[in-house]
Amino acid sequence: MAIKILIPTPLRPSVNQQTELMVDVDGDVNTIIGSLVESYPKLKVYLVDDSGTLRKFVNFYINDTDIRDLDGEKTVLSDGDCISIVPAIAGGVV
């Protein structure tokens, strides 16, 4: 099963400057992100907390739908699905 993962600019140094990755893993979001972190350990600090849970300030989308509107980390993916990783951005004018 092929899943495409879109890598945002701030995380690209952790994946050798790649803009997207293909993973061949069956399962839910948590399993797939776990596989990604295993292949690219530098991503762990950005995507997963010490307890192994996806970080709350990073948004994950499956085919343009926020996983919070699906089954969260337990959302099961299908062949050809696309995960977008969107780190939260803070700041603005004071």
93 is a domain residue = no
Tens of pLDDT, residues 25-42: 899 999 999 999 999 999
Task: Give me the CATH number covering residue 77.
Answer: 3.10.20.30
Tens of pLDDT, residues 59-78: 999 999 999 999 999 999 99
Indicate the DSSP class of residue 10: G
DSSP H helical ranges for 1-94: 29-39, 44-47
CA distances from 62 to 10, 37, 57, 66, 83 (A): 20, 18, 17, 6, 5
Q: How many domains does the chain have?
A: 1
94 is a domain residue = no
What distance in Å separates the CA atoms of residue 17 and residue 7, rounded to the nearest whole number? 9
pTM of the model: 0.88
